[in-house]
């Protein structure tokens, strides 16, 4: 069973449907007992970093998410769900992230750059099970103004460039996060979610 964490963030239904496309037993849940019984956890996220942190805390899910990450069980963070894996974000000064990865989430500030980045961009990826079967330079869909800057570059499994190179995806052990929206990335995104489900 896959626990898709329900904490008031938007766009959950499209992630749910994308996972169901592959026949997964997906539960949209904030129930701690149900989450504990899950084989894998998916943490989506849309909106401001601080609001997403507050949403998890208000539902009593913050410490359980930290415990899940510490356990080494399979976890996928999407968009702000990826950003929350880091220590902090320029978007919400003073708000601590989950701190699974060292580093800070930064805002794009290249002169002349449209922010947020909305649209398709290519992946420059390192070998990782999430990318199994993907063609090099596969394109995925982004909607974001901020991006994580990991302190340990060895954790970066994919990069892209939008004015500056940035870490599109980061992983350590069974925990991974992606800045783009696989649920909106058509066949490539569905392939990535399938790789997470079977990995």
Asked if residues 103 and 86 have their Cβ atoms less than 8 Å apart, the reply is yes
CA 194 and chain centroid, separation: 15
Residue 56: Cβ within 10 Å count = 24
Catalytic site residue 87?
Answer: no
- Residue that is written with structure tokens 């399979």 in the block: 74
The one catalytic residue among 52, 79, 144, 155: 79
Q: How far apart are CA 83 and CA 71, in angstroms?
A: 19
Catalytic site residue 63?
Answer: no
Q: What ranges make up the beta strands (E) of 25-163?
A: 26-29, 40-43, 75-78, 88-89, 103-107, 117-122, 124-125, 139-144, 146-150, 156-162
Q: How far apart are CA 191 and CA 181, in angstroms?
A: 12
Catalytic site residue 144?
Answer: no
Active-site residues: which are they? 79, 181, 183
């Amino acid at each position: 069973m896959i626990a898709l964490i329900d904490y008031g963030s938007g766009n959950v239904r499209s992630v749910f449907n994308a996972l169901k496309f592959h026949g997964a037993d997906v539960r949209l849940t904030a129930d701690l007992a149900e989450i504990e019984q899950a084989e894998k956890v998916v943490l989506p996220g849309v909106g401001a970093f601080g609001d997403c942190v507050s949403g998890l805390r208000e539902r009593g899910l913050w410490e359980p998410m930290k415990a899940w990450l510490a356990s080494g069980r399979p976890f996928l963070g999407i968009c702000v769900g990826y950003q929350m894996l880091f220590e902090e974000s320029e978007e919400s000064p003073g708000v601590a992230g989950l701190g699974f990865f060292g580093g800070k989430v930064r805002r794009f500030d290249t002169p002349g750059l449209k922010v947020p980045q909305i649209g398709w961009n290519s992946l420059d990826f390192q070998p990782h099970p999430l990318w199994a079967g993907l063609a090099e330079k596969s394109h995925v869909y982004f909607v974001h103004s901020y991006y994580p800057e990991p302190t340990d570059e060895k954790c970066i499994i994919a990069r892209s460039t939008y004015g500056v190179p940035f870490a599109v995806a980061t992983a350590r052990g069974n925990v991974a996060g992606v800045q783009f929206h696989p649920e909106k990335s058509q066949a490539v995104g569905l392939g990535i979610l399938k790789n997470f489900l079977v990995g």
